[in-house]
Structure 1
Amino acid sequence: MWRSLDLCQIVRPLRALDSWWHRLQMNSKLIFEYVFSRDGDDLGWLKAEVHTPRFSGRNGAWVQWQDLADFTASLSRFPIESGSPAVGEWGFGEQGQYTEITQVSIAPKGSTGGLVADVLLADWYEPTQRCSTRFETDYPSLARFQQEIEHMVRDRLGSAALHGFADSR
């Protein structure tokens, strides 16, 4: 005997399958992990890793959690305008000269609603050692990344990943 199904019983598994398939197609990612300092100040060590088919790199930088929160808030803008990308940039100043260590820029890709993530990672102790790459992403992936960063900072554990796609040729 057939019984009636609630629409939610059908839609939820389909959403889960769609999310799984979407991530399966992604071949690139940016991962953040934030470790709060033990002395209770506002600084923590932001670990960053980027993986694309052609490049990968990782680094770490001392970052104030408020600066990470500001970057996270900028990810919620919709649409992100080409003249005003969402940018997170962290580094240090020494003898009047600023050195970028970690930079992430999220900007629109064309007019179809796609996004591109440009990532620069440099070594904290040897900043001339650096990796720069880019990959395409989308608003749903960006929203998940934003939520994961918020949870990471609030709960003081975990990591956040922005998934995307880069050409492997």
Structure 2
Amino acid sequence: MKALHPLTEEQRIFAEKHHDFIYQYLNGRHLNIEDYYDTAVFGYLKAVQDYLEKPELQQYRFSTIARIAMRDALATEWKKQNRPMRRAYLEEYQEDTAELDAFLPTRQERLAEAMDDRNRLLALLAYLTPKERQVVHLQADGYTYHEIAEICNITSHGVHSRFYRLRRKVRSLDGMEV
């Protein structure tokens, strides 16, 4: 979502007049107001600004513009919260556990798999260009194609094309011993 700027007096009055629409939207989707209001309100305020600043939007009802903006704000937040880089692996710890292997019984298998994966990745990375390596690392860190495009100064389509070529390289190298 594009950044908000301070509301004009007209926008502030309009936003106050239609403020109940936020509650109607959240209640209509059975979303807890305490949990989702802070996210939805930014979409709502962006809708107010867009609706009053862009005359072409006034052919639609404000409720339509606001509903779409709040939906997009919530979707963006959910997407951000569910990216891999935001989820940590959790295990329950018990005080009477003396050894790490008793606490994590599959630790040795996971370590072996991780080392094997790491060795395969290092072998595959040797075949990549520096820009392809950067794109792979960013995606592994949980960045979206759009975010990768901004960081690498390329288009989203360019990121997609790089991953398409990478998949072809991986398939061609798949038969090789790594």
Global fold match (TM > 0.5)? no
Greater relative CO (CA pairs within 8 A, separation 6+): 1
Larger radius of gyration: 2
Q: Report the structure, 1 or 2, having the larger strand content.
A: 1
* TM-score, normalised relative to structure 1: 0.22
